[in-house]
């Protein structure tokens, strides 16, 4: 339509040009309305179209349906978290242990569920790289976690983590709760994933962690800690 603008601006009383332009404008407006009406009328019929008879396969979702924020291409995903853990008084707090931990993650999606309160089951391999802010000592280890992702609400997806880990630490030289450098970490946590962009999420979690040597070396006092983490999750975008 831009090619008609000069003719319109130079109208100068030329009634013949005005008539031609008005006619063409009306033609294009009517054509646009017809195309829009046809598109609107076609959409409900496409959604209501039944699956072919005799076919047991489910009809694939329409390409017009938006891809969920938490959809993933393939089964692998990645993440990274920073956590701060504080020893609590269950059963007692002797050394006032404070831990700062970095947690790189590699996730494997076992299965997605279309219905119910649980929408995804995952297995996570989580690294442990950290230090005891108090009373001192390094932390190096890994954890295996089972994650259940709940039903998403808009961009928020809750989850439950349950698992255990193995840890090499020098914290035992400064905290009488621990004996030996080899420790085990049964743990569980609740958290949420906030998808600020498709397949990109901020992760917030509260986790309860127990640390002890599982009776390998007496005495086996151990300690319990409450940990808060914040992190980032990266899913592979569907093609």
Tens digit of pLDDT at every position of the chain (239 positions): 444 444 444 444 444 544 454 555 456 555 555 545 544 444 444 333 444 444 443 344 445 567 788 888 889 999 999 999 999 998 889 999 999 999 999 999 999 998 899 999 999 999 999 999 999 999 999 999 999 999 999 999 999 999 999 999 999 999 999 999 999 999 999 999 999 999 999 999 999 999 999 999 999 999 999 999 999 999 987 77
164-189 residue pLDDT tens: 999 999 999 999 999 999 999 999 99
Cβ(159)–Cβ(193) below 8 Å: yes
Fold exhibited by the domain 76-234: Porin (2.40.160)
- Give the span between the Cα atoms of 66 and 86, in whole angstroms: 42
Pairing of strands 98-112, 118-134: antiparallel
Cβ(221)–Cβ(179) below 8 Å: yes
90-110 residue pLDDT tens: 888 999 999 999 999 999 999
- The tokens describing 211, both together, are 């640390």
With 0.75 as the threshold, say if the pTM is over it: no
Residue 124 CA to its chain's centroid (Å): 13
Measured from the Cβ of residue 106, the count of other Cβ atoms closer than 10 Å reads 13
């Amino acid at each position: 339509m831009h090619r008609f603008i000069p003719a319109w601006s130079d109208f100068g009383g030329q009634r013949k040009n005005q008539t031609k332009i008005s006619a063409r404008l009306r033609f294009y407006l009517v054509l646009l309305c017809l195309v829009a009406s046809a598109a609107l009328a076609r959409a409900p019929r496409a959604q209501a179209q039944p699956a072919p008879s005799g076919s047991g396969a489910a009809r694939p979702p329409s390409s017009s349906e938006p891809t969920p924020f938490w959809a993933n291409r393939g089964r692998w995903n990645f993440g990274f978290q920073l956590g701060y853990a504080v020893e609590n008084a269950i059963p007692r707090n002797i050394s006032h242990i404070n831990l700062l931990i970095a947690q790189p993650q590699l996730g494997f999606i076992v299965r997605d569920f279309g219905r119910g309160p649980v929408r995804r089951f995952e297995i996570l391999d989580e690294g442990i790289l950290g230090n005891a802010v108090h009373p001192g000592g390094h932390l190096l280890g890994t954890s295996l976690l089972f994650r259940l992702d709940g039903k998403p609400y808009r961009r928020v997806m809750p989850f439950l983590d349950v698992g255990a880990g193995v840890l090499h630490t020098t914290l035992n030289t400064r905290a009488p709760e621990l004996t030996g450098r080899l420790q085990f970490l049964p743990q569980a946590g609740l958290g949420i994933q906030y998808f600020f962009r498709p397949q990109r999420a901020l992760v917030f979690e509260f986790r309860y962690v127990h640390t002890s040597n599982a009776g390998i070396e007496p005495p086996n006092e151990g300690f319990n800690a409450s940990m808060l983490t914040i992190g980032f999750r990266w899913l592979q975008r569907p093609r």
